[in-house]
């Protein structure tokens, strides 16, 4: 047994999950409240700490100290199981995200799998079980309706999301996210092919299918994470609070954490596939090969670049939430099945034709 690999993986798990992802969840909640306040010409949290920065800590303490009330009419085992099934898959998906190149000779990815996107889709799809269980186990009409809505919504948009990355897999010929990022560091980001081979006829010729994939992937990610304008499973004006109507205290907090963790991991996946992951623009400080030794300071810059892009994408999530109105449910399903599904299939065919014509 290689104890070195086990210890290195354990350190990366602890650092990435407990010292990066969870604090980023807290800061995302704070940023959402401040940005929404600015958009609506309000003040926002400004009492707990400078600029209200400790508001998330105060909210966490409040959740811990609130009474953990379980209604008598619920199916108790599944009622308790549902929040964990929502939170855990969101954290497991971060295992394959390359959040840097190298640091002290270690690859900055927890599990360097050759089937990274497939792993993400397989684990992320388990989240729907937690939401369905929450709706069913609550034994109440509004949570049940929220669970049913979430099931059909997530299944519908998972298909579109999966099809949207097929053109990228065809172009790069690889399912390893680390190698995809390294290829983008050398030859231009998928969405911005402005250096290396990205400036060639092939790079410009493939810009259209990649842009279509980006639009479908990003929109589907909004639907997968139940964010506005696709928050139909929990919309307050129709279903009170949807599938977590009956939840309180830390069980509700787990749903809350799961939603924001899924948003952060989804942003990381989008950055990895379309915006070069940890790489800098124009190939700056890009390692010559994927296994090339990288100085520690350069590794830290790559990690900082990755999280800067992720934070930018999270802010985009927040602005969209407080800018666009909510879809009607028939509009949401029609967009997924009548438009995105067919466009994603056509985009795969278009990519194949362009690759054949440009080879």
Q: How confident is the model at residue 16 (pLDDT cuts 50, 70, 90)?
A: confident
Dihedral angle at the C-alpha atoms of 201, 351, 276, 29, nearest 10 degrees?
140
Exposure of 333 by Cβ count < 10 A (0-12 exposed, 13-18 middle, 19+ buried)? Answer: middle
DSSP strand E in the chain: where? Answer: 102-103, 106-107
How far is Cα 324 from Cα 68, in angstroms, rounded to an integer?
34
SS3 318: helix
**Averaged over 353-357, what is the pLDDT?**
91
Q: Where does the pLDDT of residue 58 fall: very low under 50, low under 70, confident under 90, or very high at 90 and above?
A: confident
Residue 165's pLDDT is what?
92
Closest residue by Cα to residue 191 from 162, 156, 167: 167
pLDDT digits (tens, 9 = 90+) for 150-177: 778 888 888 888 899 999 999 988 888 9
Residues in the chain: 359
What 3-state DSSP class applies to 106? Answer: strand
* Burial class of residue 18 in the structure, from the number of CB atoms within 10 Å of its CB (0-12 exposed, 13-18 middle, 19+ buried): exposed
Q: What percent of the chain has pLDDT over 70?
A: 97
What confidence score (pLDDT) does residue 60 get? 82
Higher pLDDT, 312 or 60: 312
Structure tokens at 72: 């008598």
Taking Cα atoms as reference points, which of 41, 222, 186 lies closest to residue 101?
Answer: 186
Q: What is the pLDDT of residue 237?
A: 66
Q: Where are the domains of the chain?
A: 69-358
Q: What's the confidence (pLDDT) of residue 212?
A: 94
**pLDDT recorded at residue 127:** 79
Does pLDDT of 235 surpass 90?
Answer: no
Asked if residue 49 has pLDDT above 70, the reply is yes
Lookup: tokens for 42: 């309000």
**Of the ranges 221-230, 291-300, 348-357, the best mean pLDDT one:** 348-357
224 has pLDDT over 90: no
Backbone φ, ψ for residue 102 (5° rounding): -145, 155
Q: How confident is the model at residue 2, as a pLDDT? A: 67
What is the average pLDDT score of the chain? Answer: 84
Q: What does the DSSP assignment read for 126-162? A: THHHHHHHHHHHTTSHHHHHHHHHHHHHHHHHHHHHH
- Given a cut of 90, is residue 61 above it in pLDDT? no
pLDDT score at 117? 86
pLDDT tens track for 331-347: 888 888 889 999 999 99
Are residues 164 and 217 in contact, defined by beta-carbon separation less than 8 angstroms? yes
- Cα 287 to its chain centre, rounded Å, is 26
Question: CA–CA separation, 172 vs 110, rounded Å?
Answer: 22
User: Coil, strand or helix: which one is 103?
Assistant: strand
Question: According to the model, what pLDDT value does residue 271 have?
Answer: 93
Is pLDDT above 80 for 72?
A: no
For residue 45, pLDDT over 60 is answered with yes
Residue 110 phi/psi, 5-degree rounding, is -70, -45
pLDDT in tens, 78-91: 888 888 888 888 88
Q: What is the pTM of this model?
A: 0.90
Is 66 or 98 the better-scoring residue by pLDDT? 98
Residue 242 burial (10 A CB sphere; 0-12, 13-18, 19+): buried
Write down the residue that tokens 């969405």 correspond to.
191
**The pLDDT value given to residue 301:** 92
Residue 319: name the closest of 14, 70, 36 by CA. Answer: 36
Which residue would you say has higher pLDDT here, 1 or 351? 351
What are the pLDDT digits (tens) for 246-290? 787 888 888 888 888 888 888 999 999 999 889 898 888 888 788
CA separation, residue 159 to residues 168, 206, 223, 297, 336 (Å): 16, 22, 12, 40, 9
């Amino acid at each position: 047994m290689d104890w070195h690999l086990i210890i290195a993986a354990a350190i990366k798990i602890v650092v990435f999950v407990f010292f990066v992802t969870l604090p980023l969840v807290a800061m995302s909640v704070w940023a959402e409240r401040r940005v929404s306040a600015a958009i609506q010409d309000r003040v926002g949290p400004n009492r707990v700490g400078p600029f209200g920065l400790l508001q998330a800590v105060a909210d966490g303490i409040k959740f811990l100290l609130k009474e953990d009330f379980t209604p008598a009419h619920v199916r108790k085992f599944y009622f308790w199981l549902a929040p964990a099934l929502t939170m855990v898959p969101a954290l497991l998906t971060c295992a394959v995200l390359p959040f840097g190149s190298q640091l002290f000779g270690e690859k900055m990815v927890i599990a360097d799998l050759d089937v990274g996107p497939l792993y993400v889709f397989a684990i992320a799809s388990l989240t729907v079980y937690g939401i369905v269980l929450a709706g069913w186990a609550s034994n109440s009409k509004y949570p049940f309706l929220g669970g049913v809505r979430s099931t059909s919504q997530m299944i519908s948009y998972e298909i579109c999301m999966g099809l949207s990355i097929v053109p990228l897999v065809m172009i790069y010929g690889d399912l390893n996210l680390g190698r995809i990022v390294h290829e983008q560091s050398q030859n231009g980001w998928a969405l911005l092919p402005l250096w290396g081979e990205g400036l060639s006829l092939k790079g410009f010729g493939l810009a259209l299918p990649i842009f279509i994939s980006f639009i479908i992937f990003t929109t589907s990610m909004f639907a997968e994470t139940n964010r506005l304008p696709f928050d139909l499973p929990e919309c307050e004006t129709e279903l009170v609070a949807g599938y977590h109507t009956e939840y309180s205290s830390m069980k509700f907090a787990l749903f809350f954490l799961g939603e924001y963790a899924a948003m952060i991991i989804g942003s990381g996946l989008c950055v990895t596939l379309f915006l070069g992951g940890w790489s800098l623009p124009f190939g700056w400080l890009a390692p010559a090969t994927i296994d090339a030794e990288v100085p520690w300071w350069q590794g830290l810059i790559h990690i900082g670049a990755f999280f800067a892009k992720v934070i930018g994408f999270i802010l985009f999530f927040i602005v969209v939430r407080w800018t666009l109105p909510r879809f009607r449910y028939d509009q949401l399903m029609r967009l997924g099945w009548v438009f995105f599904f067919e466009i994603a299939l056509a985009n795969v065919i278009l990519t194949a034709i362009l690759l054949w014509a440009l080879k």
